[in-house]
């Protein structure tokens, strides 16, 4: 969809959600679809009105960071690909990884275990949404890999499938972003979305570097598991390319 189609779709969804005759289930489904669509294309309710020049008042943005634990002692290639997908799916956000951290339990108490922490940052609500997508997709990949291959995602064909799935998500989203940028060249409304995303991304990066007291540095990439099952990896890419995230479930505590 181009940006005008996105806006028209959103207007219809909000019309359903705000209609007194709509059933509770219809309202919930309409709001869930609208939330996913707005996050995917970085559109707000205000954008559904005219006279938006794409400027962003950075002073009005509340930035934040929210965390998740890697499922393993070190982040895997499929988790890295999933995180790259998420911050591209939710424009204006980013992530970084911290290794060998002290793991905490659900009460916030330190344990004797070590863990790798993934931190999403950006506009606060968007960073929270990144965690919700992470939870949703990790859960889905785990279930799908288990059903197809019956072993842990840390090894074998299941690991290859998980990596393929994450890359399928990433590639499909990049194709959508590419199309949006092409539309932006001839569509002033689409250009608003692109300009806003760039401005928010720059502000988010500046905020997190101030928070951390220095520039973020790139670490070494995780070792690929694609060679553990080419067929499983390819199947994962197909499944990932067709998956549309956008869960409305609340993000849980670090697990």
Beta bridge partners of 122: 64
Residue 134: band (very low, low, confident or very high) from pLDDT cuts 50, 70, 90: very high
pTM value is: 0.70
The DSSP code sequence of 19-75 is -TTS-HHHHHHHHHHHHHHHHHHT--GGGGSS-------GGG--EEEEEEE-SSSS-
Question: DSSP label at 176?
Answer: H
Residue ranges of E strands in 110-234: 110-123
24 phi, psi to nearest 5 deg: -55, -40
Residue ranges of E strands in the chain: 63-69, 94-104, 110-123
Contacts of residue 116, Cβ cutoff 8 Å, sequence gap at least 6: 69, 70, 72, 73, 74, 75, 97, 98, 99, 100, 101
Token pair for residue 231?
């067929």
**What does the pLDDT look like over 78-123, one tens digit per residue?**
999 999 999 988 888 999 998 888 777 776 776 778 888 999 999 8
**What does the pLDDT look like over 174-223, one tens digit per residue?**
887 777 666 655 555 555 555 667 777 888 888 898 888 877 777 666 78
Domain boundaries of the chain, sorted by first residue: 1-52, 60-241
């Amino acid at each position: 969809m181009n940006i005008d189609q996105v806006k028209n779709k959103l207007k219809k969804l909000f019309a359903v959600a705000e209609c007194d005759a709509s059933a509770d289930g219809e309202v919930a489904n309409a709001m869930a679809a609208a939330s996913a669509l707005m996050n995917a294309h970085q559109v707000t309710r205000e954008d559904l009105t005219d006279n938006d020049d794409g400027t962003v008042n950075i002073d009005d943005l509340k930035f934040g960071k929210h965390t998740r634990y890697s499922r393993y002692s070190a982040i895997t290639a499929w988790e890295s690909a999933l995180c790259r997908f998420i911050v591209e799916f939710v424009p204006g956000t980013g992530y970084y990884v911290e290794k060998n951290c002290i793991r905490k339990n659900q009460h916030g108490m330190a344990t004797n275990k070590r863990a790798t922490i993934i931190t999403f940052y950006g506009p606060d609500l968007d960073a929270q949404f990144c965690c919700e997508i992470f939870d949703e997709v990790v859960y889905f990949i785990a279930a799908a890999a288990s059903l197809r291959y019956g072993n842990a995602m840390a090894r074998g064909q299941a690991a290859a499938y998980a990596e393929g799935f994450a890359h399928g998500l990433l590639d499909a989203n990049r194709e959508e972003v590419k199309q949006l940028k092409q539309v932006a060249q001839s569509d002033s409304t689409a250009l608003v979305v692109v300009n806003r995303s760039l401005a928010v991304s720059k502000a988010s990066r500046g905020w997190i570097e101030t928070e951390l007291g220095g520039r973020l540095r790139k670490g070494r990439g995780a070792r690929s598991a694609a060679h553990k099952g080419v067929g499983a990896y390819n199947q994962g890419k197909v499944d990932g390319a067709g998956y549309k995230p956008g869960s409305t479930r609340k993000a849980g505590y670090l697990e």
